[in-house]
A and B are shown apart, each in its own frame.
Chain A
Amino acid sequence: MTRFARLLAVAAGALLAFPTLAQSPRYGGELVFPVPSEPPSYDGHREETFGLIHPLAPFYNTLLRVDPNDRSGTKPYPSLAESWTVSPDGKTYTFKIRTGVKFHDGSEMTSKDVKASYDKIIFPPPGVGSTRKGQYAVVESVEAPDATTVVFKLKHPSGSFIASLLSPYNWIYKADIIAKDPHWYETHIMGTGPFIFVEHVKGSHLVGKKNPNYWDKGKPYLDGFRAIFIRDSAAQVAAIRGERAQIQFRGFTPKDRDNLKAALGDKITVQESPWDCILLVAINHKKKPFDDPRVRRALTLALDRYEGSKALSQIAIVKEVAGVQVPGTPFATPPDELAKVAGYWHDIEKSRAEARRLLKEAGVPDGFSFTFMNRGIPMPYEPLGVWMIDQWRKIGLNVTQRVIEPAAYFGALRRGEHEVAMDFQCGYIVEPDLDMYKFTSTSRNPANYGYYEDPVADKLYDEQSQATNPEERKKIIRQFEARVLGEQAHYLMTLQWHRIIPHSSRLHGWTITPSHYLNNTLDTVWLSQ
């Protein structure tokens, strides 16, 4: 076979294996997708829900974004910033702002708008709420020395600063508008994104149309999109199955995936990924006997996470056995190393024997009873709660479940009423600073529902945060993980959520990531015939 023939054969093979490579993006069409929740207001700097991101992200751009083809959802990619440099001391980040970008009202976007947007997020004026202000505590100032340059000055070097700029919420707003009324964006939509706002019928749907003057020439491919607000998961599945919608960007259950695949066959393509959401168990250190690390260790040692993963992944949106980072992402602990942490041992009999020994040593009698507080949401709180109670029973603990209505749940956690309770964490990007902050001491983190102070863990957290060398950072993260989940067992991890997106095979140009907050700009998405 000649070299040319061989090349031809390889190319043909690749095209057969990846049919989308054979197609070039097609222009036109309207993407329809259900959104399980609705934006409370339109202000990304204020809100916290994917219900805002899914329908509204296409109207905006951020300074940087996550590479739309990166399945780990962690690689920075230029957006309104074309490029960036970091000073040798790691404290000054300079961004070159793209020129020729226009807001939907026709005005030019400049560094002034970027500065105003970030000032609103990091240094909000009095009376204006900024949900993510705390994530930028490292920022000393934001400056715009000229129309195409923005400079962030940091208090100290940070290993996570670039990742924090990938937040899909940090939309760039128009400076003049923010100056006149910092609340304007709560009720209005006007950005630089690939789509222009058309209408929002409250409780029903939101529509966007193609931005013909979008700065990324040739994009977007779609003529428009229609986000339909559908709360009921069965109705969302029916919308996909009845081909009234092409995708739902949050995720479906394994059963929904199987039903859709069985009903629609090749018309459905399934993308799956570990999900940057996890249910944790908050053990209230202020309640006896949970102030004793031996008791907390016993609770984690009782869980057979590996067998639990096999069984629960059939019925619930959980799968991967994980530490403090999503498996498969850059800072995640490899499985064989994680297996050394208490509660992650493969030999469950040995693990449970150790749990019983620790309980006995701590003076906890066989049949000891406590209450496990759980949130009144069926998926996946209910199956995980039932599973854990069963696991704890195997080391002689008698656990009663108390289910609290969802809206009142976190209020109850903040009041510290629980002994042991289900807690929840969901990140917009996999980043150690964001994912591990939860485990720092209560005095610096009001969402620590274990109510403990651990200066050692805090010190490790700060060290990893300031470590700019990834390998060094990994090492510190391992130490932090071993301390928080193993030695002290401040918190217990259940199983990592597993994101399942069955979508129409007509939909192309969208890649799943561990975060359901990412890749919703829709500029790369297109529909085949």
Chain B
Amino acid sequence: MGYYIFKRLLAMIPTMLGVAVLIFILLRVIPGDVVEARYLTQGSAYVSQDLMNIERKKLGLDQPLWKQFTGWMAGLARLDFGLSMWTGSPITEEIRLRFVLSLQLALMASTIATSLAIPLGILAAFKQDTWVDYSIRVFSIAGLATPSFWLGSLMILGMLIIFKWVPPMVFTPLWVNPWDNLAQLIWPALAVGYRYCAVGTRMMRSTMLEVLREDYIRTARAKGLWMKLILTRHALKNAILPVLTVISTEFAFLLGGLVVTEQVFNLNGLGLLFVEGISHRDYTMIQALVLLVATTFLAVNFVVDIAYGWIDPRIRYR
């Protein structure tokens, strides 16, 4: 197992390097740069080429690409992501601010989603083709069909019309004021968690149905084993593996992919930072964020793979 973990960790290095090279090149290929975004988009007729040259020099954009790349890689080796080209602030500081919110939202949405998806999926499978199953299927299909940002917009509109109230617009950390924190984050967590839950429920139902048709389950039932025991001890352990993969991938996605939902609820999260970074052509910021998201995906996949072995003793790693 130890060797396996070492091998996996080692394999992450070329993957990350590949991601770094790819994002560096892609950003330089797309038209425009941070200086154009800063000075040409405001409609002023007075922006001179001299000014743009000064700014490009200041940001190191006048350097050859290989020099820019090696400079960035040298910084990464020291875990120094550099400064945002747009704000001039350290990137770690900019990301840290948003990471707290995005992580809490991802955790809340995941908690809501998994705590609903697993029991609902099991119930739907166990009560297959009854009204219970149909109701859960309608609930989950509706969840898949409803974009989170649209549901979020409806929630805000509903609260405005019915209660004449909107959630707070500014993030307060949980440890500063739990009430304000939850008053802001519970709504996006519900909006995002619903879609997430729908995915999980459908996956749980189908894998559970498959497992429930296995011979060993039939045997257990024939033996007269208590159904609750069959479901939780024998069926669930085998059925949950694909669900675990879905949940973990969704979690990683939630950390940086909630762009529109963050806009709707005005959440100062990583998704919005990503979009702002792209629209400002803030190369250093986008590079850092892409690496962060890639690391999260790799780490989550790694943890899930290890968890597989723990949940299912038949799986052994070499």
Chain A interface (Cβ within 8 Å of chain B)?
34, 40-41, 47-49, 127-135, 186-187, 201-205, 226, 228-232, 234-235, 238-239, 241-245, 263, 277, 406-414, 424-426, 434, 437-438, 445-448
Contacts and interface: CB of A to CB of B under 8 A. Distances in A.
Given A406-B41, A411-B32, 7 more contacts: A48-B39, A202-B89, A231-B266, A231-B272, A235-B263, A245-B169, A426-B42
A229 to B, nearest CB: 8
Given A235-B169, A411-B32, A203 B272 contact: yes
B47 interface: yes
Interface string B18-57: 0000000000001111001111111111111101001101
Interface residues of B, number: 54
A254 B89 CA distance: 37
A402 B246 CA distance: 39
B97 A187 contact: no
Contacts of B47: 48, 131, 446-447
A234 B170 contact: no
Contact of B46 (A132, A205, A234, A411): A132
A129 B51 contact: yes
Nearest to B55: A129
Contact of B166 (A47, A239, A424): A239
A66 B278 CA distance: 36
B170 A241 contact: no
Contact of B169 (A244, A411, A445): A244
Nearest to B279: A407
Contacts of A412: 31
A238 B156 contact: yes
A202 B88 CA distance: 12
- 9 nearest CB pairs, A to B: A242-B166, A410-B40, A134-B46, A48-B42, A408-B31, A408-B32, A203-B268, A426-B43, A447-B45
Main secondary structure of the interface of A (DSSP, over half): mixed
B80 to A, nearest CB: 18
B4 interface: no
Given A204-B170, A242-B165, A446 B48 contact: yes
Nearest to A41: B88
Nearest to A48: B42
20 contacts: A40-B86, A41-B87, A132-B46, A133-B48, A202-B97, A226-B170, A228-B170, A228-B266, A230-B266, A231-B263, A232-B264, A239-B169, A244-B169, A410-B36, A410-B40, A413-B40, A414-B40, A424-B43, A445-B45, A446-B49
Nearest to A241: B160
Contacts of A134: 46, 48
Contact of B31 (A228, A242, A411): A411
Contacts of B281: 407
Contacts of B280: 40, 407
B133 to A, nearest CB: 37
A232 to B, nearest CB: 4
